[in-house]
Structure 1
Amino acid sequence: MTAVSRLDGAEVAARAEELADLLADTVHGGASIGFLAPLDRAAGLAWWKGRATEVSAGALAVWAAWDGGRVVGTVSLAFPDKPNSRHRAELVKLMVHRDARGRGLGRTLLATAERAAAEAGITLLHLDTETDSPAERLYLAAGWTRLGAIPDYAASPTGVLRPTTIYYKRVGTPAHAG
């Protein structure tokens, strides 16, 4: 059975090795999430340890999906630090281990982040994803709005420049920012 829970900074640091393994699996599976293949384990570990600091500072929220005590997925929300943008967050690093795909885990992680954002007073989410990737089907099915694509925005894990599509979704009632 798969469970999803929010991690605090200490838990991200403590689980950094497992999270690095998930990151490596995701990159090696072809997902364009900011890293090139082959992803060095030490680089993945260092990246997650850096995220632990951001989580502790409140700049990032991370949820992990567990199956049998093993991390099989994550999703994060990155919060802006400017006063005029505290109503929004960026959905980042939605990852599902290749051997856990096809069971609705991506949708569960996405819904968890959307619900938590709304409960925290966030009213607008945005994300970017590789154009024509399997992730696009997930976001469209979950009610996200496609804004447009930027050509040659990011390199695939193999280093090929690919377009990136920007999406947004309203998750709460907009309030006056005053």
Structure 2
Amino acid sequence: MSKNVKIEQLTSIENYLDELSELLIQVVEDGASIGFMPPLQRTEANHYWANVLTPDVFLLVAKINNQIVGSIQLHLCTKENGHHRAEIAKLMTRPNNRRNGIGRYLMKKAEEIAKQEGRSLIVLDTREGDASNLLYSSIGYNQAGKIPHYAKSANGELHSTVFYFKSI
């Protein structure tokens, strides 16, 4: 991974709304299965980011030359029987910055925070066949199973999603 990449935890999106929205729009346009369909309008992206941060969500961004090139969210489970677990959500890397270890670095930092928060289990899901499956497997995540026809793509095709877990 490039030495130029810096990971930062955001506690406010105010100064980053435009960059975060552009990141989201780019990855959705590139075909990412993260809950949105292209074309994603800037107003919808802005609305999404304006509502992300809550006391149980950590938002990390990867920056190169002080510009956001990736992000990840760590959601702490707030259920009484789930205080030992967290969920990874919306790992994103700008299309032109992929294959440089940014996603791996974001995952590592999210795991560190989960440990600091007393979590011992992390779960996540991703579309079957996406490159992210290789990333998660390569960093120790175990496949728990998959659900067919879970998410729809822009062309209307239904795709399976794969659930992963890792004890930390």
TM beyond 0.5: yes
1:166 corresponds to: 163
For residues 67-102 of structure 1, what are the alpha-carbon distances to aligned partners after superposition, in whole Å with 9 as ceiling and x for unaligned? 111110001111222111111011001000011111
1:125 corresponds to: 122
Structure 1: unaligned runs, 5 residues or longer: 172-178
1:4 corresponds to: 7
Higher helix share: 1
In 1, the alpha carbon distance for the partners of 2:90 and 2:152 equals 16
In 1, the alpha carbon distance for the partners of 2:114 and 2:154 equals 29
> Is 1:16 the counterpart of 2:17 in the alignment?
yes
1:68 corresponds to: 65
Distance apart, 1:159 and its partner CA: 3.5
> Is 1:45 the counterpart of 2:46 in the alignment?
yes
> Is 1:152 the counterpart of 2:149 in the alignment?
yes
Runs of 4+ in 1 over 2 A off after TM superposition: 156-160
Q: Is the 8 A contact 1:35 1:157 kept in 2?
A: no
Structure 2: unaligned runs, 5 residues or longer: none
- TM value normalised by structure 2: 0.94
Distance apart, 1:14 and its partner CA: 2.4
2:104 corresponds to: 107
In 1, the alpha carbon distance for the partners of 2:156 and 2:111 equals 31
